């Protein structure tokens, strides 16, 4: 099929590349000339496992083209995905200006029937907004359909999630438009849910907000464990074996961040307010998440007797492993407070350091954990990169001024850390 994807962030680029890999003729569109040039050369602007190799391959087979022209892409496609950003605006509501801008340009370029697909995370009613925007360009309603097709990709495993999704959600007003998407995804063996526009839009917000709530719940429980002497890992294991609860998203840590959970939870809160419902449960989910990092910082500050004059080493900066994304990363929260308290910070992350360096150039950036630890008063585990699991912890501790570790991701067990000579603290036990 002939497909266009407007926006080449995590969702757009992965979607376009995978659809091209499946044999479709795909046009990816971006309004950044430098990004377009880089993509045409096979260079991915984001780190995602396997993405650059697949990008190179589909460019070579000519199943993928990169352009900055929405007009050309629209005229040469039967399905066009909108995958631009919808960040929170000043009032917390999702900023749909990029979605509207793309819809206007699509509307001015429609010459034959096209299915316009909202894949950006949008609030209820965004499909109707896109439809009205296109109609305002003088386009006949017979020439296009609007579909909501939310994505459920996890950064770090986005390609696998696209190829092997848990479900595909398609919301549309007309059966013919839904079937067009069913045909596009026919090679993917998974359950397809066909529903109305607003239900499809709410499924995305509802899913991510529920997962954020689950993480906040186990993090709140970890605070109780710290007070009463229980071990949150054992508690979570016992809970997770109940099939009604499940094991996923019951790992206590510093809290959730990234590009999805923060804005989607806030988006659902604001959507609820719009319709007259005060979603107090979700507001508390946010409060628990904010307090988790604050409590961790307070424990560190108490142990050190203040941050002033201390050299603190941060292991990891990305909001999660296998990505270079630092949006709403807990590392930024830690850095801000530690610097304000007078600490000197060194940091190491195999992928995300360059992004943090653009914000905090005054921090020292190490090339590995061993150089990171040298002369440090405290080692903090912030991101659970797999390479951190295979360190010589005893050697790391010997390089430090004093071997104290605060493990914000429960990466190391108390026994193994203490056997390596560390004074060890973690979350929930």
Catalytic residues: 260
In the chain, the N- to C-terminal Cα span, in Å, equals 53
3-state class of 404 per DSSP? strand
- 325 vs 156: CA distance, rounded Å: 10
Element (H, E) at 3: strand 2-6
The residue whose two tokens read 């409060």 is 287
SS3 282: helix
Q: How many angstroms separate the CA atoms of 293 and 308, rounded?
A: 19
- Compute CA distances 304 → 129, 307, 311, 396, whole Å: 53, 7, 10, 19
CA 221 to chain centre: 24
Q: Are 102 and 109 in contact (CB under 8 A)?
A: no
Placement of tokens 């295979």 in the chain: 390
DSSP letters of 316-383?
--SSSTT----TT-HHHHHHHHHHHTT-EEEEE-TTTHHHHHTT-TTSEE-SSHHHHHTT-SEEEE-S
Query: Nearest-CA neighbor of 6 among 92, 85, 60?
Result: 85
Q: How far apart are CA 269 and CA 263, in angstroms?
A: 10
Task: Answer for the pair 232, 429: CB distance below 8 angstroms, yes or no.
Answer: yes
Q: In sequence order, which residues have a C-beta less than 8 Å from that of residue 43 and are 6 or more positions away?
A: 52
The token pair that represents 11 in the structure block: 């969702």
Helix axes 280-304, 197-228, angle to 10 degrees: 40
Q: Cα(26)–Cα(379) distance, rounded to whole angstroms?
A: 46
Here the tokens at position 363 are: 């921090």
Give the residues across from 114 on adjacent strands: 144
Write a three-state SS string for 18-86. HHHHCCCEEEEECCCHHHHHHHHCCCCCCCCCCHHHHHHHHHHCCCEEEECCHHHHHHCCCEEEECCCC
Which residue shows structure tokens 């699991």? 389
């Amino acid at each position: 099929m002939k497909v266009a994807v407007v926006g080449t962030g995590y969702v757009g680029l992965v979607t376009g590349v995978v659809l091209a890999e499946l044999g479709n003729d795909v046009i990816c569109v971006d309004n950044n000339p430098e990004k377009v040039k880089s993509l045409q050369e096979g260079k991915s602007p984001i780190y995602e496992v396997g993405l650059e190799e697949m990008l190179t391959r589909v460019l070579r087979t000519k199943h993928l083209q990169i352009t900055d022209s929405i007009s050309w892409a629209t005229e040469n496609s039967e399905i066009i995905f909108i995958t631009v950003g919808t960040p929170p605006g000043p009032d917390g509501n999702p900023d749909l200006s990029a979605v509207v801008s793309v819809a206007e340009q699509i509307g001015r370029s429609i010459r034959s029937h096209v299915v316009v697909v909202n894949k950006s995370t949008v609030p209820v009613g965004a499909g109707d907004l896109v439809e009205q925007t296109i109609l305002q360009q003088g386009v006949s309603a017979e020439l296009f359909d609007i579909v909501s097709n939310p994505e459920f990709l996890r950064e770090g495993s986005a390609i696998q999630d696209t190829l092997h999704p848990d479900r595909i959600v398609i919301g549309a007003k007309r059966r013919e438009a839904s079937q067009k998407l069913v045909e596009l995804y026919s090679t993917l063996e998974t359950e397809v849910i066909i529903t109305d526009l607003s239900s499809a839009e709410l499924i995305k917000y509802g899913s991510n907000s529920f997962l954020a709530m689950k993480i906040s719940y186990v993090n709140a429980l970890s605070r109780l464990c710290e007070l009463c002497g229980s071990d949150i890992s054992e508690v979570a294991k016992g809970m997770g074996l109940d099939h009604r609860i499940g094991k996923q998203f019951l790992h206590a840590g510093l809290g959730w961040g990234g590009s999805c959970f923060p804005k989607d939870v806030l988006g659902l809160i604001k959507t609820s307010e719009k319709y007259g419902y005060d979603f107090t449960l979700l507001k508390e989910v946010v409060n628990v998440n904010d307090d988790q990092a604050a409590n961790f910082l307070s424990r560190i500050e108490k142990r050190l007797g203040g941050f002033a004059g201390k050299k603190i080493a941060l292991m990891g900066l990305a909001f999660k492993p296998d990505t270079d994304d630092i949006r709403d990363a807990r590392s930024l929260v830690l850095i801000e407070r530690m610097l304000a308290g007078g600490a000197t910070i060194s940091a190491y992350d195999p992928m995300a350091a360059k992004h943090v360096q653009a914000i905090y150039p005054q921090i020292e950036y190490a090339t590995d954990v061993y150089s990171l630890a040298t002369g440090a008063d405290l080692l903090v585990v912030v991101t659970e990169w797999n390479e951190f699991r295979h360190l010589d912890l005893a050697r790391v501790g010997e390089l430090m001024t004093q071997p104290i570790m605060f493990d914000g991701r429960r990466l190391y067990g108390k026994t193994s850390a203490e056997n390596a000579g560390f004074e060890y603290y973690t979350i929930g036990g």
